[in-house]
Amino acid sequence: MYKAFLIKYAEIGVKGKNRYLFEDALATQIKYALKKCEGEFQVRKTQGRIYVDALSEFDFEETVEHLKRVFGISAICPVVYVEDEGFEKLCEDVISFIDSVYPDKNKTFKVQARRARKNYPKESMQINMDLGEAILNAYPEMHVDVHKPDIMLNVEVREKIYIYSEIIPGPGGMPVGTGGKAMLLLSGGIDSPVAGYMIAKRGVKIDAVYFNAPPYTSERAKQKVIDLAKIVSRYAGPVYLHIINFTDIQLYIYEKCPHEELTIIMRRYMMRIAEAIAEETECLGLVTGESIGQVASQTMHSLMATNDVCSMPVYRPLIAFDKQDIVEISEKIGTYETSILPYEDCCTIFVAKHPVTKPSLKVIRRHEGNLTEKIDELVKTAIETDELLIVSDNE
């Protein structure tokens, strides 16, 4: 029955003269999200609105599910188009629309007409009244409620007449691409994919870096991260995933530094390398899945020690989230099942029995001094042998 969707957007409506940039980004993301859907679609911008027209048969549920992934959409309204063949015919169309969408007529309603085509013979107020009357005649069980109707029946008179009443909530946020780009430190865990999702939700495009430690970590662990990036790409668009071979750096730190400081020093090198790649690729910040107190390397002291090596802003969208809240988001966005696959990651292998929870910056810096001989060369090699994958779930 439905032929189109009216896309409503909230925050981006208020962006003044840059509004078109936001609308263009939203249209681009909608096209990306629909690529893999059955059916052919056209995304159309008109008079401050975005419509998705179905040009062929399509799968309603699948299309809605994909549209729900597009940040910047506040609501998705499935629309029926009818030809303008006189008011009488419109009344019939609206009455049969109500019948198919609301089998139970025990409901209140309000008609909200909009005459976008000014040569239509009735004014909006008149359409409201006359249509309302026709509906009441057809379905005496229904009642009008102008304040809090169960059904808000929208009728927009354009070239054709659009009828819609259902409002499916979208994800909110801002269209990806309107907020610059950031480098996500993506591990195989639960947290970092969620962190990437949350930053992307604010309109930021996401590149990602994964620190791999073959042969201590397996090909499967790497594939898991690629799969996670793929799921994130459903929301964030194609992800440029940098895979850094971190083994030699890890072994060197293991050889030269106190084992209870391994994780912190390792994390500092991850941040340094991530920042170097971020600078090269015009990212404006780093993103991690850290949350205060979750593990020894995420106490306030540890975060300070990790942060110490970065000059770019480090965004930690999960900083004040409980694990359970993070798990809930990961279930909602579809990363959870992949995240909990039990493949080793590079941190778990070199982890100490009793890692420091209150590292002293001074001490950490001094111990990093043990690495002077080879570390610059190792970091340089790691960056030069960066393996870049472009990951997308939609093409």
Stretch touching ligand ATP by CB under 6 A, among 14-22, 185-193, 197-205, 350-358: 185-193
**From 294, 299, 392, 394, residue interacting with ligand ATP (rule: CB under 6 A):** 294
| Burial (CB count within 10 angstroms: exposed 0-12, middle 13-18, buried 19+), residue 163 | buried
The residue length of the chain stands at 395
Residue 318 neighbours by CB distance under 10 Å? 25
* Residue closest to Mg ion (Cβ): 189
- Rounded Cα distance between 37 and 31, Å, is 10
DSSP 3-state of 194 = helix
Closest approach, Cβ 366 to ligand ATP, in A, equals: 23
Check binding of 21 to ligand ATP (CB under 6 A).
Answer: no
Return the biggest CA–CA distance within the chain.
Answer: 88
Q: Which does 7 bind (CB under 5 to 8 A by kind): Mg ion, ligand ATP, none?
A: none
**From 347, 364, 375, 379, residue interacting with ligand ATP (rule: CB under 6 A):** 347
Q: Which does 275 bind (CB under 5 to 8 A by kind): ligand ATP, Mg ion, none?
A: none
Check binding of 193 to Mg ion (CB under 5 A).
Answer: no
Do 73 and 9 touch, CB atoms closer than 8 A? yes
Residues 163-166: contacts with CB under 8 Å, at least 24 apart? 163/79, 163/80, 163/81, 163/82, 163/93, 163/94, 163/97, 164/6, 164/77, 164/78, 164/79, 164/80, 165/77, 165/97, 165/101, 166/77, 166/78, 166/101
- Rounded Cα distance between 172 and 72, Å, is 5
If the CB atoms of residues 154 and 306 are measured against ligand ATP, the closer one turns out to be: 306
- If you ran DSSP here, which 8-state letter would residue 60 be given? H
For the chain, the straight-line distance linking the first and the last C-alpha, in angstroms and rounded, comes to 28
Give the Å distances, CA to CA, from 148 to 110, 139, 324.
Answer: 9, 19, 36
Ranges within 130-189 binding Mg ion (CB under 5 A):
187, 189
Check binding of 211 to ligand ATP (CB under 6 A).
Answer: yes
**From 23, 93, 156, 345, residue interacting with ligand ATP (rule: CB under 6 A):** 345
Residue with tokens 């309204």, as numbered in its chain: 77
Stretch touching ligand ATP by CB under 6 A, among 24-32, 37-45, 230-238, 287-295: 287-295
Check binding of 210 to ligand ATP (CB under 6 A).
Answer: yes
Q: Which does 52 bind (CB under 5 to 8 A by kind): ligand ATP, Mg ion, none?
A: none
DSSP 3-state of 208 = strand
Ranges within 27-66 binding ligand ATP (CB under 6 A):
none
If the CB atoms of residues 313 and 369 are measured against ligand ATP, the closer one turns out to be: 313
Check binding of 335 to ligand ATP (CB under 6 A).
Answer: no
Check binding of 217 to Mg ion (CB under 5 A).
Answer: no
If the CB atoms of residues 189 and 285 are measured against Mg ion, the closer one turns out to be: 189
**From 191, 227, 261, 275, residue interacting with ligand ATP (rule: CB under 6 A):** 191
**From 63, 178, 192, 247, residue interacting with ligand ATP (rule: CB under 6 A):** 192
Check binding of 299 to ligand ATP (CB under 6 A).
Answer: no
Q: Which does 290 bind (CB under 5 to 8 A by kind): ligand ATP, Mg ion, none?
A: ligand ATP
| DSSP bridge partners of 240 | 207, 390
If the CB atoms of residues 69 and 224 are measured against ligand ATP, the closer one turns out to be: 224
Closest approach, Cβ 189 to Mg ion, in A, equals: 3
Check binding of 185 to ligand ATP (CB under 6 A).
Answer: yes
* Residue closest to ligand ATP (Cβ): 189
- Rounded Cα distance between 87 and 386, Å, is 65
Which residue in 230, 235, 251, 237 sits closest to 186, CA to CA? 230
Which residue in 143, 82, 154, 156 sits closest to 112, CA to CA? 154
Check binding of 247 to ligand ATP (CB under 6 A).
Answer: no
Binding site residues, ligand ATP, CB under 6 A: 185-187, 189-192, 209-211, 270, 288-290, 294-295, 297-298, 345-347
Binding site residues, Mg ion, CB under 5 A: 187, 189
